[in-house]
Chain A
Amino acid sequence: MRCTIETHELTKKFALQKGFTDFFLHPLAKDEITAVEEVNIKIEKGELFGILGPNGAGKTTLIKMLCTLISPTEGTAYVNGYDIAKDSGKVRESIGFITADERSFYWRLTGRQNLKFFASLHNFYSYDAEKRVDELLSLIGLENRADDRFLSYSAGMKQRMAIARGLLNDPAVVFMDEPTKALDPGAAQNLREFIRERIVKEQRKTVFLSTHHLGEAEQLCDRIVIIDQGKIKVIGTIGELKSDLHKPNPTLGDVFVHHTGKEFKEEMAEHPQSGRRRMVHGMHGGRMRGMRF
């Protein structure tokens, strides 16, 4: 049986922008940079798969190729059984894309208006759209603020909206590009729990998560891939990767340094629990069935 996400030698090269001098002196010369090189991965249904790497490693390019926003230079990939190059429309029907970019909403529309608009892009209209939007607003715990303008929302609320939008079409696969980037440690921790419990365990969705946070990857992911300079360095479960180091009490940071030769710089995400304890009491009533972050 084919995996939910499967890539074969997936490669992306970008042409480098020329300066004026090069443009006139060497008009035919073609300089390229390889952002993703011969990536082979297989992800099973219901798996929470993490991709780790430093800035510029190729994580976002890989996600955007799988979301059909960027065309691959070489290789093939299948998402939910559909070829990303030949069946891009079908791929988009079966995926949700969640980013940390809060600009990706209409700030002068309300939360509900935003979700209803994006629901129409997924071919949900009228009653169907209203029902789906109400369900998701309830899921993310934003029913009471749904009719306020998006611009009045906190960073955490905006991120919740991004999650709701990513789930509008009840996708089989959810891509998350650094979803906790803009959140404080407590909110980030609540989001992680939400992803694990509600999206993966309860709804059985396949999640492809890009993150900068080793703690987040360790806490959430069934398997991870470490990528650097566009190439896969290592892939496996956290336990496998640690045991391969053959040293006492290895951390995921040790695994990262071992395979990339680079230090992984991160802030509080390594200790999300402590952050959460500190922040949640200052928020609005803690976590309920929906999300609070």
Chain B
Amino acid sequence: MICKKAFSFIRRDLVLATSYKFEFFLRLFFIFFSILTFYFVAKLVGGVGMAHLEPYGGDYFSFVLIGIAFSGYLMTALRSFSESIRGEQMMGTLEAMLVTPTSASAIITLSSLWNFIFTSFRVLMYLLIGILLGVDMSNANIIGAMAILILTIICFGSIGIISASFIMTLKKGDPINMFFMGTSELFGGVLFPITVLPEWLQTISHILPITYSLSGMRHALLQGYSLHALAPEIIALLVFSVVLVPSSLLAFRYAVNKAKVDGSLVQY
């Protein structure tokens, strides 16, 4: 039943997204520009910083391609849950949805599915274009990459739901979103390996799930690490999941109850 419901949400969002045709194709088109920018930056950088890149295969373009592609999941998680609440509040559709038997948490989770699907499509485009531009993924461990991806989505999704809980309560000014948006690119190893950072700053990197997610994904896709070799990243992401999933569900339940008490469920 949940699959059928999920399909209804995806179909709704697909129709809405493709009804704005120009924006839909523009978003796809600008993926090329983003990749090309980093392709030429990599050409400029060349072998500089090779020591830091060695654990990931030694090529900067491959490194950054995985970084920008998969960090998209974090950005999607941080934006889509809270934006779906805000969007439905502003469109006026949230109230009509909340008087149905479908729970608020299901509505918010399923409303974000399309964004994750679009992000996955974008990641696929990144990887395909990367391969065309010379990134070697011939040894990729697809099963390992999928395991990392699933745990990544669970962790990032939970962070997104906590962020949405703040939006439900505060309406604007969500500290979770600001924290992860502000720190992930610098400390998460998106554009450069975290070993470039001073050691004391690397401590921050180690408390962010994105660090393990990107590291694991690079090892799996670029170097074909086995599941056994990926164990440190998988275990770290599992620990984050065990903490974040129940916390996010509790936070969201609290936020919905508080909004019902305040009468602010559909206010924005």
Contacts and interface: CB of A to CB of B under 8 A. Distances in A.
B96 A104 contact: yes
Contacts of B260: 68-71
A70 B263 contact: yes
Size category, A interface? 35 or more
14 contacts: A14-B262, A69-B99, A69-B260, A70-B261, A89-B101, A89-B103, A92-B99, A103-B92, A105-B96, A106-B12, A106-B16, A117-B12, A123-B5, A125-B1
A93 B102 CA distance: 9
A185 B126 CA distance: 58
A275 B69 CA distance: 61
Contact of B95 (A69, A92, A113, A123): A69
B196 to A, nearest CB: 43
Contacts of B92: 101, 103-104
B98 A69 contact: yes
Contacts of A118: 96-97, 100
Interface of B: 1, 4-5, 8-9, 11-12, 15-16, 19-20, 91-93, 95-103, 107, 257, 260-263, 265-266
B8 A109 contact: no
B261 A97 contact: no
A85 B1 CA distance: 26
Contacts of B265: 69-70
A109 B15 contact: yes
Given A105-B96, A109-B12, 15 more contacts: A64-B263, A67-B99, A69-B99, A70-B261, A70-B265, A89-B103, A97-B95, A97-B96, A99-B95, A99-B96, A103-B91, A106-B93, A121-B97, A122-B102, A125-B5
Given A14-B263, A64-B263, A103-B92, A108 B19 contact: yes
A106 B265 CA distance: 19
Contacts of A73: 261
Contacts of A103: 91-93
A105 B263 CA distance: 21
A266 B95 CA distance: 27
A152 interface: no
Contacts of B100: 92, 118, 121-122, 169
A106 B91 contact: yes
B257 A126 contact: no
A-B pairs, 5 with minimum CB distance: A103-B92, A120-B8, A121-B100, A71-B260, A97-B99
Nearest to A60: B263
A113 B4 contact: no
Contacts of A64: 263
B12 A71 contact: no
A2 B226 CA distance: 64
Contacts of B12: 106, 109, 113, 117
A165 interface: yes
A122 B97 CA distance: 9
Contacts of B99: 67-69, 92, 95, 97
Contacts of A122: 100-102
A254 to B, nearest CB: 33
Contacts of B101: 89, 92-93, 121-123, 169
Nearest to A92: B101
Contacts of B261: 70-71, 73
